[in-house]
């Protein structure tokens, strides 16, 4: 039995994995979907203002402690890739697999801000203009989304090298929004790195809602994709909603 810890992207909570969780549980696995500090409905302004990447990595590590998890599969969507990288580096060998689901894969000293494109930096800045500390959600999308702590997008990650000891590291590239994705160069870099397995999923960015079965199949390890053959998983339609 595997233990999955699911970390949402910007503006989202545990609910973003609501279609995937039962599929993993039905297969007999333990699943923990997180809502990060500052994104919870009862978080006050001070909590949102002070939450940063360290705070969010701490959310994951505290879950590992509380649930006594010793071999976790961390799954991070979008901004959540920053979080799972930071958490895995601090987890003391308790992470056996990382899955960056259309997500940032940072190197030491990088941030979500430095890793994304100018288009999204402009969106972050505009979204935080009214408060100076919380980035409002983009227009449209799920009404459950909440303003996201700006500090978490800006803070640089500090990696000790422990992350490189995680036995299994995977990146999932959602190819259905190539006109806007900030992950095209990242896919190229990781595809050339023998320590990473790269999957292509023909959906938009919000793969957990667009194709939960395909996401679950990938997480369960039966997607049948080879990192070098360039194949896509499934024959899914492609729509997108940036997160």
CATH number at residue 112: 3.40.50.1820
Residue 128 lies in a domain: yes
DSSP H or E stretch at residue 197: strand 197-201
Residue 236 lies in a domain: no
Residue 229 lies in a domain: no
Instruction: Identify the pLDDT of residue 222.
Output: 53
Classified as helix, coil or strand, 193 is coil
> Could you report the per-residue pLDDT of 42-101, keeping only the tens digit for each?
999 999 999 999 999 999 999 999 999 999 999 999 999 999 999 999 999 999 999 999
Determine how β-strand 72-77 pairs with β-strand 3-7.
Answer: parallel
Quote the pTM value.
0.92
Residue 7 lies in a domain: yes
Q: What are phi and psi of 123, to 5 degrees?
A: -65, -40
Question: CA angle, 38 as apex, 35 and 41 as ends, to 5°?
Answer: 70
> Could you report the per-residue pLDDT of 168-212, keeping only the tens digit for each?
999 999 999 999 999 999 999 999 999 999 999 999 999 999 999
Instruction: Identify the pLDDT of residue 224.
Output: 37
Number of structural domains, the chain? 1
Show the domain range for 190: 3-219
> Could you report the per-residue pLDDT of 39-50, keeping only the tens digit for each?
999 999 999 999
Residue 178 lies in a domain: yes
Residue 231 lies in a domain: no
> Which band of pLDDT confidence, cut at 50, 70 and 90, is reported for residue 238?
very low
Residue 239 lies in a domain: no
Residue 118 lies in a domain: yes
């Amino acid at each position: 039995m595997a233990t999955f810890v699911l970390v949402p992207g910007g503006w989202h909570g545990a609910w973003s994995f609501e279609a995937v969780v039962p599929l993993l549980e039905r297969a007999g696995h333990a699943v923990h979907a997180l809502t990060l500090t500052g994104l919870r409905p009862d978080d006050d302004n001070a909590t949102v203002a002070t939450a940063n990447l360290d705070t969010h990595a701490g959310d994951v590590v505290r879950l590992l402690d509380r649930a006594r998890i010793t071999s976790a599969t961390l799954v991070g969507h979008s901004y959540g890739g920053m979080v799972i990288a930071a958490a895995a580096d601090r987890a003391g060998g308790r992470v056996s697999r990382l899955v960056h689901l259309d997500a940032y894969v940072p190197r030491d000293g990088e941030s979500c801000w430095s890793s994304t494109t100018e288009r999204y930096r402009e969106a972050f800045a505009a979204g935080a203009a009214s408060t100076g500390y919380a980035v409002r959600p983009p227009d449209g999308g799920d009404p459950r989304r909440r303003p996201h702590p700006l500090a978490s997008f800006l803070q640089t990650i500090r990696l000790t090298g422990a992350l490189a000891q995680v036995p299994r590291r995977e990146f999932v590239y959602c190819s259905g929004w190539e006109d806007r994705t900030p992950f095209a160069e990242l896919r190229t870099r990781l595809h050339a790195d023998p320590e990473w397995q790269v999957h292509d999923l023909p959906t938009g960015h919000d793969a957990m809602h667009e194709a939960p079965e395909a996401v679950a199949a990938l997480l369960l390890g039966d997607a049948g994709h080879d990192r070098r053959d360039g194949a896509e998983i499934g024959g899914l339609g492609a729509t997108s909603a940036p997160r």
